[in-house]
Amino acid sequence: MAGGSYRATDNGQMEERSHVNLKQLSQMLGLSQTTVSRALNGYPEVNRETRERVLKAVRETGYRPNKAAQRLATGKAGSIGLVMPTAPGHPSDVHFSEFLTGLGEEALRHDFHFVLTPADPNDEVGALKRLAASGNVDALFITYMRGHDPRLEMLKSLSIPFLVHGRSFGTEPDYPYLDIDNEAAFYDATKLLLQLGHKRFALLNGPIYLDFAIRRKNGVTAALAERGLTLNEACVSHTAMTDEQGLFAMERILQLDERPTAILCSSTVLALGAVRAINQAKLKLGEDISLIAHDDVLTLLKPENFTVPLTTTRSSLRAAGVRVAERLIGEIKQLDTFPEQELWKTELIVRASTGVAPAE
């Protein structure tokens, strides 16, 4: 009994060392592995007293079932997999992490974890396949949807549940998704600007292959079309969602002959750069030029904190993360059936960056 302290002793004392396994535990208790397992997993055919003894022993030993073994035996692992788009030089993305925070918040409540596979944006299909085949995840989740996204077919062929954040333009919407109504958001925003008398519009958008970018542009175009206006392609930019790109794009657009008076931005991050360009050009935001940005409710970048607070279309990316986790976990646990497809409306919040169009 002397020697290594904290080790199992003959009288069935607990040990502090980490790895007790089922077998050892059941031996200590003089029970079979079956019974212990059942006691732990809440099966009814275990005597109340026995169960309590087991639970007590678990507490004392600090026993934790080995997840890999559990996974192997059940096929469930309590984890959801996602692909983290990255590559050397690929900028870290605040949008992604805001979303991740939401996922985490919900996963925490259910003792789930994620398996993050970093992947080159060009090999997401492969990364997903690997993740699914690894047998390490119960469900998959994808985002940054593209038009005609090739990942959808792949996911549908797998037998593992999945959920899409966003949609894939040009693909039959026969998959479970959670998306915001991007088209309506930008339609409404454009409409507001039209009502303020603006006629010349610019759009600082995300990469054109991304679904949300396509839909937002469509929203703008549709609203303009109702007034017989069109969107000048020279006033549209499709770039990565960074402030620098916003700056460059805006600088370029401000040099055009027929300078637009109304700017739509796909993110407050782009707006950050755009506003800088506007300031540098000595233009007054909300007077000389109006701007509406889409606000993902990023922790770091609050539209109300801009020198001139920004008018925005708002939808919390973090809340979307929470919801995605909720649905995915629910599905794995086979709790409820959720609506397959959700489309969230955005809010249009008017602040100081929008004003009546300047006189010609």
Partner DNA sequence: GTGAGTAGCCAAAGCGCTTTGAGAAATGAG
Partner DNA sequence: CTCATTTCTCAAAGCGCTTTGGCTACTCAC
Q: Which residues bind a second copy (CB under 8 A)?
A: 16, 18-19, 62, 64-69, 71-72, 77, 79, 84, 86-88, 90-94, 96-98, 100-101, 103-105, 107-108, 111, 113-120, 129-136, 157-159, 242-244, 247, 269, 272, 276, 279, 298-302, 305, 307, 318
Angle at 142 between CA 211 and CA 186, to 5 degrees: 30
Restricting to residues 107-136, which ones interact with DNA according to CB under 7 A? 135
User: Residue 33 binds what, of a second copy, DNA, none (CB under 5 to 8 Å, by partner type)?
Assistant: DNA
Burial class of residue 147 (count of CB atoms within 10 Å of its CB; 0-12, 13-18, 19+): middle
Chosen residue from 7, 12, 17, 32 binding DNA by CB under 7 A: 32
Residue 244 binding target from DNA, a second copy, none, CB below 5 to 8 Å by type: a second copy
* DSSP 8-class letter at 338: P
| CA–CA gap between residue 151 and residue 140 (Å, rounded) | 11
The binder of 37, among DNA, a second copy, none, by C-beta within 5 to 8 A per type, is: DNA
Q: Which 3 state secondary structure label does DSSP give 141?
A: strand
Of DNA, a second copy, none, which one does residue 115 interact with (CB within 5 to 8 Å by kind)?
a second copy
Letters for 9-28 (x = contact with DNA by CB under 7 A, - = none) are ----------x-xxx-----
| Eight-class DSSP state of 174 | -
22 binds, among a second copy, DNA, none (CB under 5 to 8 A by kind): DNA
Question: Near DNA by CB under 7 A, which window of 10-18, 46-54, 100-108, 266-274?
Answer: 46-54
**Contact status: 143 vs DNA (CB under 7 A):** no
Nearest Cα to 292, choosing from 214, 216, 211?
Answer: 216
Select the binding partner of residue 23 from a second copy, DNA, none (C-beta < 5 to 8 A, by kind). DNA
Q: How far is the CB of 319 from DNA (least distance, A)?
A: 33
Cα(first)–Cα(last) distance of the chain, in Å? Answer: 93
Q: Which is nearer to DNA, 13 or 34 (CB)?
A: 34
Cβ atoms of residues 297 and 324 within 8 Å: no
**Footprint of DNA on residues 61-100 (CB under 7 A)?**
63-66, 69-70, 72-74
**Cβ pair 288, 307 in contact under 8 A:** no
Measured distance CA(144)–CA(241) in Å, rounded: 12
The letter for the amino acid at 272 is L
Helix (H, G, I), strand (E, B) or coil at 214: helix
